[in-house]
Chain A
């Protein structure tokens, strides 16, 4: 199946700093990528839909200025958590849809665990 990678797999940062997470589709082109957040023992919550060459679409309650999304190419989307605080600590997962896939399903990256001290 299609492969989606994320980098870094885990990051620890100080409160107030910014952290950038990369999501790449390795063997297919993705015009749309999705960013999710998962708190411990909870399900995945969609944060935003990242569209190549245009602005991201954010879900209700997600701060656009805090979670900056850039989808500069058909294989790369980045999520920047600006001025991170401890409550931003979470597991961030991206996904991308492979239009050529058998089921046109979303493939998920391995996730990035962010810990803000």
Chain B
């Protein structure tokens, strides 16, 4: 059975801290791994990763994929209160289906 596991489930930090969110997966016919940020409503797209070892960056956020060890990390540097959200990892396997992890709830306090 395909599965995506995220850790930690919850994280509380102070502004300025750096955080690393983890995502491991076991799926057949892996196509891509995606990271989303979910605040109060629907998830918003952050990154799509398809190749190992190539870092994707967007401002203070970066992500990398290891297809050999079957995991990805999402880094956020110099965190701000606006980074508080649930971060979802999803894997696209086989068809167009996305399999989501449980998410990591990040809370950033001033």
Q: Is B68 an interface residue (CB 8 A)?
A: no
Give B contacts to A, CB under 8 Å.
Answer: 34, 36, 41-45, 48, 88, 90, 95-103, 105
Prevailing SS type, chain B contact patch: strand
Interface of chain A residues 93 through 117 with chain B (CB within 8 A)? 93, 95, 97, 103, 105-111
CB closest residue in chain A, given B105: A41
Give the size range of A's interface with the partner.
20 to 34
Most buried by A among B36, B41, B95: B41
CB closest residue in chain A, given B45: A105
Residues of B within 8 Å of A43, CB to CB, are 88, 100-103
CA distance A97 to B92 in the complex (A): 12
Q: Is A42 an interface residue (CB 8 A)?
A: yes
